[in-house]
Structure 1
Amino acid sequence: MQNLLLLTFIFVLCERSCFANPRVSDFTTGIVAMDEEYDRYKKRGDDFFVQGDYSNALKQYRNCLEVPNFDNDPYAKGRITLVTKLTKLRDDATKLLNEGKGEEAVGLLKQILDENPNDPVTKVTLTDYWSDEATKLYAQKNYIEAKKRYQEALKYAAKPDLIRVQIQNCDEFIKAQQKPETQAPVVQEKAKVETPVPVQNPVTTTKPTQDKKDVAVEPKKERVKKETTPPITLRQTPAPKRRIIPKILTAVIGLGAGGYAYLLNNQYQTKLNNLNSVSQTTDPDGDNVILTQSAFNQWEISYKDVKSFQSNKTTMNACLGVAGAAVVAEIILFALPKPKKQTGFHFHPTTKNVGLALQYRF
């Protein structure tokens, strides 16, 4: 009887343990599933944050709080506060740019980069702003200020090659503008030193008295001397032709080619950023698998758009070459001496008397 009771007790314990273990296992599995769901939302939010896509990042961080047992998660709450702040800064900066208050907008954009240094959207905005300001000054031939703004744009540019070319162009034009200013005083000093002493008129010189025979022969000798004497001029310098029209045409061609190349490069970067954003949206896990057909169609359209636009790189390189050639031609035109008007005293033989005549040209 005692053995029977002992066996019954052991059977009951085994039965309870068998039913208890699956419940514990199911509870543990549920916790792991919730953790994975939270981690998935968190990773997507962080990825959107790095890309500067704050609207989608905000959605993912709010999804983190919807996961059971994570409604008071401090990380998600902190990121929501930060993303809300950066979104407001970006909206305020966009409004200031539209109102023409660029300096105030730049200050707000820099605050965004302080919190998110890798924000590509903010960097593109700063690059476009400084490049536009520099291009305006470049067209006004204010190359010193234009160079400063190109250097600011270079700090944020993802593709800095074209901006570096513009900085080199500014350096060349600055040298060409400063070169005539340094040579002007030297030319004036030479003009003072090389001023010739006026030649005495031979008609006013006295001659000894001669016989009548000698007087008859004297006019013939003076006529021969008058015909063979070359004219004497004061600093005759050839006046080069003005080159205003070639300078204007060269500057217009260079600016047009450089501006078109810059426009093509910006369009390509915009399409490439759009493709990256679509890729992150359609394939957030990064496993190269797109689940829905609509998402795949969206990605394929963006991909084909970027692929077709790559053919414009040849045109962009050609425009850069034209801009470089225009810069060289502009430098040559600036280096040539400016036309000067012939002024000063000029000596030439007289047609009625014996000797030289003095003339001043204005």
Structure 2
Amino acid sequence: MRKPLHLFILALLLSFVLVPSVRALGRTSVAVTIDDEYDRYKKRGDALFKEGKYQEARRQYQNCLEVPGFENDPYAKEQIQECTTGIALRQQADDAMRQGKGADAVKVLDQLLNLNPDDLITKGQFADYYEREGNQLFNQKRYAAARESYTKALNYTTTRQETLRLQIRTIDNVTRPSRHIGIKVVTGLVAVGAGAYAALLRSDYQSKMSTLAQVSQTTDPTGSGVIANPDSYRQYNDAYNAAQAAQEKNGLFKACLGVAAVATVAELYLLLHKPKQRVSAIQWKPSSQSWGLAISHTF
């Protein structure tokens, strides 16, 4: 009789210990499953929100609220409101773009990025807008403004960096002064400088000879070649030496005239013979109707 009684007592004790543990384990398993479902919806929503896909993200956050125990989740409710705001702002930006109101569209896109700095779609819209603007300005030959627009577009894209940098390099090549222009400037300066110096030398020589003639007339009015007065002789001697020094520069005067003549001829040649632009078989130029480059082939 004692053995069955012992077994009965042991079974009773085990029932008090094991049954609550099993029930608790079951409840834990259900809670973990529910949490996993919520986390799955939340992660999908966060990923879509980061991309700027607000419609799809809002749907995932609404799914979060349908998980038992999370009907009033504050995070999901807040994100649903953010998505609703994002959807409304994007619609405003798209409407402004279609109506050609670029400045208004940019203001709305700024609001979207303030709402969600990681918004990839909005960044892409910014890049498209500034690249199209740059293309239009380029085709209008407003190169400085076009370069500024392309630079702005660079800040909003990682996928079109090379295309935009190519467009900026194209502008730099167009606006950079050519070597031909530099040579024309130099030859012009040489021609003007040499001619001016030659004129200065000739003027100085003529002035010194005129002074010598006047002094000679005053100190030796008879033309005898004899000047008895020491002061008059000194005056004549100074004028003679000055005229002699000016005459010795006659070789330099002729050289300046030669340089000026050669430079002038070279300047005229460069003005009349403009360098031909080298045309490659494939040319790249911005397309005014869309972002990117238009390719033309020359035969």
TM-score by length of structure 1 reads 0.52
Q: Return the alpha-carbon distance in structure 2 between the equivalents of residues 22 and 48 of structure 1.
A: 40
2:78 corresponding residue in structure 1: 78
1:216 corresponding residue in structure 2: none
Q: Return the alpha-carbon distance in structure 1 between the equivalents of residues 7 and 186 of structure 2.
A: 122
Unaligned stretches of 5+ residues in structure 2: 200-260
Letter aligned with residue 67 of structure 1: V
2:106 corresponding residue in structure 1: 106
Q: Deviations over 1:35-55 (max 9, x none)?
A: 111111111111112222221
1:97 positional shift: 0.9
The 1:35/1:119 distance shift into structure 2, 3 A limit, reads same
1:23 positional shift: 2.2
1:240 corresponding residue in structure 2: 272
Q: Return the alpha-carbon distance in structure 1 between the equivalents of residues 292 and 146 of structure 2.
A: 21
Conservation of the 8 A alpha-carbon contact between 1:139 and 1:255: no
1:46 corresponding residue in structure 2: 46
Q: Return the alpha-carbon distance in structure 2 between the equivalents of residues 101 and 187 of structure 1.
A: 49
Q: Return the alpha-carbon distance in structure 2 between the equivalents of residues 55 and 176 of structure 1.
A: 52
1:167 corresponding residue in structure 2: 168
Equivalent pairs: percent with the same residue? 32
Q: Return the alpha-carbon distance in structure 1 between the equivalents of residues 274 and 8 of structure 2.
A: 120
Q: Deviations over 1:107-139 (max 9, x none)?
A: 221222233333221121111110111111111
* Aligned positions of 1:9-20 closer than 5 A: 11-20=11-20
The 1:185/1:264 distance shift into structure 2, 3 A limit, reads closer
Q: Return the alpha-carbon distance in structure 2 between the equivalents of residues 120 and 4 of structure 1.
A: 75
Q: Return the alpha-carbon distance in structure 1 between the equivalents of residues 126 and 77 of structure 2.
A: 29
1:3 positional shift: 11
- The count of aligned residue pairs is 230
Q: Return the alpha-carbon distance in structure 1 between the equivalents of residues 110 and 46 of structure 2.
A: 20
- Is the partner of 2:157 in helix, strand or coil? coil
Conservation of the 8 A alpha-carbon contact between 2:131 and 2:291: no
- Is the partner of 2:141 in helix, strand or coil? coil
Q: Return the alpha-carbon distance in structure 2 between the equivalents of residues 3 and 119 of structure 1.
A: 75
Unaligned stretches of 5+ residues in structure 1: 198-232, 266-315, 327-362
1:180 positional shift: 5.9
Rg larger in structure: 2
2:248 corresponding residue in structure 1: none
Q: Return the alpha-carbon distance in structure 1 between the equivalents of residues 111 and 187 of structure 2.
A: 52
In the alignment, does 2:127 pair up with 1:127?
yes
Conservation of the 8 A alpha-carbon contact between 2:41 and 2:61: yes
Conservation of the 8 A alpha-carbon contact between 2:46 and 2:57: yes
* Aligned positions of 1:49-60 closer than 5 A: 49-60=49-60
Q: Return the alpha-carbon distance in structure 1 between the equivalents of residues 134 and 7 of structure 2.
A: 94
1:11 positional shift: 4.3
TM-score by length of structure 2 reads 0.62
Q: Return the alpha-carbon distance in structure 2 between the equivalents of residues 192 and 13 of structure 1.
A: 119
1:194 positional shift: 4.2
Letter aligned with residue 87 of structure 1: I
Q: Return the alpha-carbon distance in structure 1 between the equivalents of residues 26 and 97 of structure 2.
A: 56
In the alignment, does 2:37 pair up with 1:37?
yes
RMSD between superposed Cα atoms in Å? 4.3
Q: Deviations over 1:259-290 (max 9, x none)?
A: 49x9678xxxxxxxxxxxxxxxxxxxxxxxxx
2:66 corresponding residue in structure 1: 66
- Is the partner of 1:176 in helix, strand or coil? coil
Letter aligned with residue 171 of structure 1: D
Q: Deviations over 1:229-266 (max 9, x none)?
A: xxxx9x663462678xx76x969x7454x549x9678x
Letter aligned with residue 175 of structure 2: I
* Aligned positions of 1:1-362 closer than 5 A: 11-158=11-158, 159-176=160-177, 187=188, 194=195, 237-238=268-269, 240=272, 254-256=283-285, 259=287
